[in-house]
Amino acid sequence: MSFDLNSLLRPHIAKLQPYTSARDEYTGKEGVFLDANENPFGSITEQDFNRYPDPYQSALKEEIAKIKGVRPSQIFLGNGSDEAIDLLYRAFCNPGKDNVILLPPTYGMYEVSANINDVEIRKVALTPDFQLQPDQILAAADANSKILFICSPNNPSANKVKREDILFLLENFKGLLVVDEAYIDFSDEPSFTTELDRFPNLLVMQTFSKAWGLASLRLGMAFASEELIRILNKIKPPYNISGLTQDTVLAAIKDKAKVDRMIQDILAEREFLKGELEKLPFVQRIHPSHANFLLVQIPNANQVYDDLIEEKVIVRNRAKVLLCADCLRITVGTREENEALLKALSKVVK
Ligand SMILES: *Cc1c(COP(=O)(O)O)cnc(C)c1O
């Protein structure tokens, strides 16, 4: 397939001269730094944060590249995946002209970010078992369809999307195809990062917010061709990842074994919670999960949701979402939390 990234790009972004930070011109660590108007005496905090961080996060990308089997130049780091989503719209979608294809029910930020950027949304529903409708997706697309977002494993449905459907769309969709793998660590499915060299129209998103347990630090990853990553780097705020985040993750990333243990613990709890929920007579359906949550169908889910809050157990009400009637999305917690949920559920559902 011939794919020309520049023909998708908004013309003013192609022409854009990016901001050059003080630290672009001299990258050495030694020196008298009087170039960035920082406070030379240190910080108000115990730990010093007075110097601007590396705008390219080079040390961190080196380590991420090793774990993910990609080159550092194929990695973009954002202030959460949400920043990558927003930058994709701003780079490729002309407001009032271009459109994006979304596949509900799915992650809400694709739609919110499209609306913030005044980008038309074309929706093609998933099937009742939450799989793609590839022919309908292609039929909904036109020359102005710049991005297609596929979330796999999908939020809120928890299933993985059929790989052959995504491959078919990579071969036939004319815009960028984003595969959001926020929950890939909880799935037996291999990442689409292995397909990056084959598909220049592919961008894979992952995050440190879920399996790595770093939601508060705000660190999202995007993997794509060097050319596409260069565009995201060109338009991002120069210092989008704080020094605290870079240093903390760099120190932690060496202990990948700890993450793997936490993933195993979450998967074991997922099976426990699923097993216990199945025993409750009022639970109508538990959708198969490749994520760290379960989508559970219960009669009068709206009422159950409210009653659970009274018991100080907070789940996510998805009852009003397409194809999710009477469904609650329940994050897998610790054994104590899961037992608290089960106890509260049995109390509020008569
Ligand atoms: C949680 C989640 C993310 C993560 O977003 P961050 O901004 O990195 O915290 C991304 N995509 C989906 C589908 C999610 O559910």
DSSP 8-state code for residue 40? T
CA of 217 to the centre of ligand 1 (A): 13
From 214, 235, 254, the end of a domain falls on 254
Q: Counting atoms of ligand 1 from 1, which one is nearest the CA of 107?
A: 13
DSSP alpha helix (H) spans, 209-281: 226-235, 243-252, 256-279
Q: pLDDT tens digits, residue range 97-106?
A: 999 999 999 9
From the list 274, 323, 242, the residue with the least C-alpha distance to 52 is: 242
Examine the domain organization and report whether 223 and 300 are in the same domain: no
From 238, 254, 270, the end of a domain falls on 254
Examine the domain organization and report whether 100 and 123 are in the same domain: yes
CATH of the domain at 290: 3.90.1150.10
Please give the Cα distance from 106 to 92 (Å, whole number).
21
Tokens of 184: 């890939």
Examine the domain organization and report whether 269 and 233 are in the same domain: no
Instruction: For a ligand 1 pocket test, name from 154, 187, 207, 331 the mutation site with the most ligand atoms within 8 angstroms of its C-beta.
Output: 207
pLDDT at position 86, please? 98
Q: pLDDT tens digits, residue range 59-98?
A: 999 999 999 999 999 999 999 999 999 999 999 999 999 9
Per the structure, the count of domains in the chain is 2
Examine the domain organization and report whether 248 and 298 are in the same domain: no
Instruction: For a ligand 1 pocket test, name from 209, 221, 240 the mutation site with the most ligand atoms within 8 angstroms of its C-beta.
Output: 209
Q: pLDDT tens digits, residue range 133-188?
A: 999 999 999 999 999 999 999 999 999 999 999 999 999 999 999 999 999 999 99
DSSP alpha helix (H) spans, 51-162: 58-68, 81-92, 109-116, 134-140
Examine the domain organization and report whether 266 and 225 are in the same domain: no
Examine the domain organization and report whether 287 and 328 are in the same domain: yes
The residues, any chain, with a CB within 8 Å of residue 191's CB and separated by 6 or more, are 68, 181, 184, 204, 206
Examine the domain organization and report whether 223 and 320 are in the same domain: no
Which protein residues touch ligand 1 with a CB less than 6 Å away?
80-82, 107, 151, 155, 180, 182, 207, 209-210, 215, 220
Examine the domain organization and report whether 111 and 219 are in the same domain: yes
From 254, 283, 314, the end of a domain falls on 254
Pairing type for strands 176-180 and 202-207 reads parallel
Examine the domain organization and report whether 160 and 106 are in the same domain: yes
Examine the domain organization and report whether 139 and 181 are in the same domain: yes
CATH of the domain at 19: 3.40.640.10
DSSP alpha helix (H) spans, 77-212: 81-92, 109-116, 134-140, 163-172
pTM score: 0.97
Examine the domain organization and report whether 150 and 282 are in the same domain: no
Examine the domain organization and report whether 207 and 307 are in the same domain: no
Residue range of the domain that includes 105: 5-254
CA 47 to chain centre: 31
Closest residue by Cα to atom 15, ligand 1, is: 155
CA of 26 to the centre of ligand 1 (A): 35
Please give the Cα distance from 156 to 335 (Å, whole number).
22
Distances (CA, A) of 159 to 129, 131, 164, 294, 296: 9, 8, 15, 10, 13
